Homo-oligomer: A and B are copies of this chain.
Amino acid sequence: MPPNTVALIGAGRVAHHLGKQLHANGWQVVQVFSRSLHKAVELAAIVGAQPLDDLQDLTDSAAVYLLAVSDKAIAEVATQMTHIGNKLVVHTSGSTPSTVLAPYFERYGVFYPLQTFSFEREPDFSSIPLCLDASAEADLDMLKQMAQSLGGPQYVLKDDDRVMAHLAAVIVNNFTNHLYHIGADILAQHDLPFELIRPLILETAEKIKHHHPALMQTGPAIRGDEITVNRHLAMLKGIRPEWSELYKVLSDSILRTKKDRSGS
């Protein structure tokens, strides 16, 4: 088989975007597996591959097998793929150790795109960091070549480091989005439009393109403006006590971080 062949295990958001981008950049996607046949068919049609809903139909026709499934499905799927022989099998998970694949395959690794994907948005792969790892040097080279086809910056990260990167990602993505959600809810409860804070959300993110967030912190907490902080805590208690607790924990953390930085 040619070296630039890949099989996609999974047809969710990550499989969808990785598959499309590999297909567009010289990789032949030979098979697409999903437990939902219609999902496999849909993605397979886009990338010109054979759809499967039974892993027993997975052949040895690919050089790389990309496991783009949920974390908890990785091991289960792996157990049903052992018939493919001596092939390179990689998962796309930030938080799962590569060694979860070791009982099933001799050649294994990780191909983790550190980005949030949705069906509604086309990702810009030229800016998506790809975190790579492999059990053998030659296989790492193959993953580097695959990453190069996608166009983004690449990082070789061992399990411990990748898990840390994933933790940081959860904090700046999931938690940040939750703060957006709370902001939107506060406005909605007072019949104010979300549009009021959308430009601020964008600017807050844009700022860190060129500046470290430590230098960009403003607001009542870091100013030590207790009057405003206490007024906000009281307001939130009236809206939703849980948000008041969250405000307090975050404000305390901002102040403590400032004290640590200034060495006091």
- A residues lining the B interface (CB < 8 Å): 71-72, 95, 114-116, 118, 120-121, 123, 127-129, 131, 153, 155, 157, 160-161, 163-165, 167-184, 186-187, 190, 192, 194-214, 216-222, 225, 227-228, 231-232, 235-236, 242-243, 245-247, 249-250, 252-254, 256-257
Contact = CB atoms under 8 A, between A and B. Distances in A.
A169 B200 contact: yes
B195 A153 contact: yes
Given A174-B222, A228-B71, A228-B95, A115 B254 contact: no
A176 B128 CA distance: 21
Given A115-B203, A212-B184, A249-B249, A217 B254 contact: no
A192 B167 CA distance: 12
Contacts of A121: 203, 206-207
Given A121-B207, A182-B171, A199 B129 contact: yes
25 contacts: A95-B231, A114-B199, A116-B200, A116-B207, A120-B210, A123-B203, A129-B196, A131-B196, A157-B192, A160-B190, A161-B192, A163-B235, A164-B190, A167-B232, A168-B196, A172-B183, A172-B204, A175-B254, A176-B176, A177-B208, A181-B213, A181-B257, A202-B205, A205-B205, A246-B253
Contacts of A250: 175, 178, 246
Given A116-B218, A174-B219, 11 more contacts: A72-B225, A116-B204, A116-B207, A128-B199, A171-B247, A175-B247, A176-B205, A178-B217, A178-B250, A181-B257, A243-B253
